[in-house]
A and B are shown apart, each in its own frame.
Chain A
Amino acid sequence: MSEKLTIAQLSPGDSAKIVGFSGPTELQSRLVEMGFLPGVLIRLINQSAFGGPFQLKIRDYYVSLRKIDTENIIVEKLI
């Protein structure tokens, strides 16, 4: 078993499996509609300068999320 992290704690290039959400729930509807569901794999690409948004790959596409929102998505890092 690997430890539970948030997407914000991953490094560029890391792959992970979504476990669940934490924190405020407003954004969860949109994230889930975009396919962020427990069990789905993601890969972190990069982060924009000065603590800007993260770019990641999920399913067949690339998407960017603000850092504050990536802190509310809990993942399990894939080795």
Chain B
Amino acid sequence: MMNSNLQSHSKIFKIALLGNPNSGKTAIFNLLTKLRHKVSNYPGVTVEQKMGIVKLNNGRLAELLDLPGTYSLTPESLDEKIVAEEVTKWVHGIHRPDAIISVVDASNLSRNLYLTTQLTDLGIPVVMALNMMDLVKSGTVDHHQLSEKLGIHAAIPMSAKEKWGVNHLLDGLWKVLESPPPDCSFMIPLNIPAIVSTTLEPLTSIFKENFQYSPRLAVAQALRVITRNSALELYRKIIQTLPGLDDNLFEKLIDTRGEIIGQIESLNYSHRILEATLRYAMIDDMVKSIQPDNEKILKQVTRSEKADRILTHKWLGPAIFISIMYIIFHSVFTLATIPMDWIDESIHKIGDIILRTMGPGMLRDLLVDGVFGGVGAILVFLPQILILVFFLSMLEDSGYMARVAFLLDRFMTKVGLHGRSALPLISGYACAIPGIMASRTIDSWKERLITILILPLMSCSARLPVYSLLIGAFIPAKLLFGFISLQGFTLVTMYILGTVVAFILAWIFSKFIPIQGKSSFVMEMPPYRIPIMGSVFHQVFTRAKLFLKNAGQIILAISIVLWFIASFPSSPNSVNGNHVEDSYAGKIGKIIEPVIKPLGFDWKIGIGLVTSFAAREVMVSTLATLYSVDNGENSIVHLSSSLVKDINIHTGKQRYDVLFALSLMVFYVFAAQCMATFAIVKVETNSWKWPIFMICYMSMLAYGASFLVYQGGRLLGF
């Protein structure tokens, strides 16, 4: 007795969180785990499984698994397939959770209950979180009646946004974990016509006899596998991995399914809609007593609908979207100047202090030139990156991105993409990697693949330091037409260049990639909401942390190594200038120089192109280190003025000019430089073919475009 008590006490409970997209699942996950995770108001944001730890009300800990949002356990897109696969494993005893929290948007009850009714068939205790109670017009939902009718342990009204009800949810959760509710797996809640039941019997009995399913689950699975082939496919893997199952079982399932579909159709039922029709008959009956007047609900005009009259208006909508994007990129450049100047000054001040307090020597040179010169040059750009991430998170969290998908779907399908490509592509402006992950919500493989292939052409925030440095140094701070800043305009042009070429390539790829696939666009438009600032700042903070971690590790390491190879061998003859040119680094740059000379780049840029394979922004720290080492005086150089003042002693002219700056920026728009991106593409496409293809096409594009800019510009006399 004592022993079993101890054992049960040490058991870590497993809880799974499931719900529709936009039901507030991730917000509840954050509240329960107190860990912050990215929340967003866009269907399909939880594209990976996330694990957190929950502290239950009696102090016990439990593992909480957050799965992607799904409308049904019969999968359509990749993120839904992830959920369906996981759930299929559970019913076969693999990673089976002790309880499921079914998150339901109480303001959109019937559609959300669809998934809940599927979950109740699994034989795993279900606790329902009736979320978004703050949006329920009448203020209440009869949750006792609801939980009784659904046969679930508890339905707990709550609001993740207003942060109430979480404790009740934890209470409810503990109750089912402590004393699991009685088994009701013999009661089939669906009202299935007798003739249909009989027809399904061969499938039902396979599930009962070969898989040991309960009668309730067997019927549910029989209905599910006849709905979509994807539901049947889930069993291929299960049959292969589970021991003791006949290999021919899958063939048997296929054959039986085929026969039954024929019989169902001959009874004048459609196999594709049978499960959903039966479930909704039950749900609508249940909800009727809770929400009596459907017509009144239909006529209600929500605040979001009023906003959509303008924001998704045929002509105003696209115009507003373009203006928003323009303002965001433009303000990245203008808003960031003050904090950037402040960081710049601070770094110089600290560098000066080191110069004054430390005695001269190699260590001081390494610290000032390598560390402060290199890493400091990068830190200056942190505000720009954070401002961009801030705006993009605000957009995503507000619910606007679903409208962007709506506005752009027609255009996107014309160029071989999908309305749902809009969010991945726009998040690519911050970083390609989350963008590539977010493409999982696109249901057709071809459109998803093309989205992934062109995504690195969306200028990510790691390119911003390079653009900003070159624009600040070489583009005059003039006004166009008296009100548009030429510098801001140049920056926006780089973004537009990448984006437009991305769309052209998408169109070309769609013509040549021989994959057939149908796609659809059934996309929920979530209500607009004021972004949860905590979540937005969390994203900004995460990006800052990543950037600083990069700066503190990769960029620091590269800067130190670079300082050594740029400082040695130190030839006594070249004290005044030309010091770096004779170093090891200079020699490496000189080897590359002939290849990149037609683009207007010299050996210094060549070194930067090599080092920026680690991360694009390393170009900036590399140049800063090179100039710091080269600088005879002992102080941190000002990188942009060093670039402008750099004189080529052979020609006596400025080494770098506007044309060079444009050529290098264009090179950065297209070049394949981020190893992490290709690693993730390898994972997501499950082959080396596509990442290698990406590196090839991007490199050719970068070289070709820079060549055109530089040589074309020279021909035109610049």
Is the CB–CB distance between A37 and B109 below 8 Å? Answer: no
Nearest A residue to B106, CB-CB: A60
One of B45-53, B81-89, B514-522, B550-558 at the interface: B514-522
Q: Considering the chains assembled together, what is the distance between the CA atoms of A47 and B304 in angstroms? A: 16
B313 within 8 A of A: yes
Q: Which residues of A contact B72 (CB under 8 A)?
A: 33
Which residues of A from 23 to 62 have beta carbons under 8 Å from B?
25-35, 37, 40-43, 45-53, 55, 57, 59-62
Is the CB–CB distance between A37 and B280 below 8 Å? Answer: yes
Q: Which residues of A contact B111 (CB under 8 A)?
A: 34-35, 59-61
Interface residues on A, range: 35 or more
Q: Which of A26, A41, A51, A55 contacts B294 (CB 8 A)?
A: A41
Q: Distance in Å from the Cβ of B167 to the closest Cβ of chain A? A: 27
Q: Considering the chains assembled together, what is the distance between the CA atoms of A26 and B273 in angstroms? A: 10
Is the CB–CB distance between A61 and B524 below 8 Å? Answer: yes
Is the CB–CB distance between A34 and B410 below 8 Å? Answer: no
A15 within 8 A of B: yes
Is the CB–CB distance between A62 and B305 below 8 Å? Answer: yes
Q: Which residues of A contact B522 (CB under 8 A)?
A: 27, 30-31, 34, 63-65, 69
How many residue pairs at the A-B interface have CB separations less than 8 Å? Answer: 136
A4 within 8 A of B: no
Q: Considering the chains assembled together, what is the distance between the CA atoms of A41 and B298 in angstroms? A: 7
Q: Which residues of A contact B272 (CB under 8 A)?
A: 25-26, 28-29, 32
A-contact 0/1 string along B270-302, CB 8 Å cutoff: 101100110010000000000000110111001
Q: Considering the chains assembled together, what is the distance between the CA atoms of A42 and B294 in angstroms? A: 10
Q: Which residues of B contact A57 (CB under 8 A)?
A: 298, 305
Q: Which of B318, B405, B521 contacts A49 (CB 8 A)?
A: B318
Q: Which of B71, B280, B299, B314 contacts A47 (CB 8 A)?
A: B314
Q: Considering the chains assembled together, what is the distance between the CA atoms of A42 and B652 in angstroms? A: 75
Q: Which residues of A contact B315 (CB under 8 A)?
A: 49
Q: Which of B277, B309, B405 contacts A37 (CB 8 A)?
A: B277
Q: Which residues of B contact A60 (CB under 8 A)?
A: 107-111, 297
Is the CB–CB distance between A51 and B304 below 8 Å? Answer: no
Is the CB–CB distance between A35 and B308 below 8 Å? Answer: no
Is the CB–CB distance between B280 and A52 below 8 Å? Answer: no
B38 within 8 A of A: no
With A29-B273, A30-B522, A57-B305 known as contacts, the answer to whether A46 contacts B312 (CB < 8 A) is yes
Nearest B residue to A62, CB-CB: B525
B90 within 8 A of A: no
Q: Distance in Å from the Cβ of B372 to the closest Cβ of chain A? A: 52
Q: Which among B72, B280, B302 has the highest number of chain A CB atoms within 10 Å?
A: B280
Nearest A residue to B314, CB-CB: A49
Q: Distance in Å from the Cβ of A43 to the closest Cβ of chain B? A: 5
Q: List 22 A-B contacts (CB under 8 A).
A: A15-B295, A25-B272, A28-B272, A29-B76, A29-B276, A33-B114, A33-B276, A34-B71, A35-B110, A41-B298, A46-B314, A48-B406, A49-B407, A50-B410, A50-B411, A61-B111, A61-B525, A64-B409, A64-B419, A64-B523, A66-B409, A69-B520
The 4 lowest CB-CB distance pairs between A and B, nearest first, are A52-B410, A32-B276, A62-B525, A60-B108
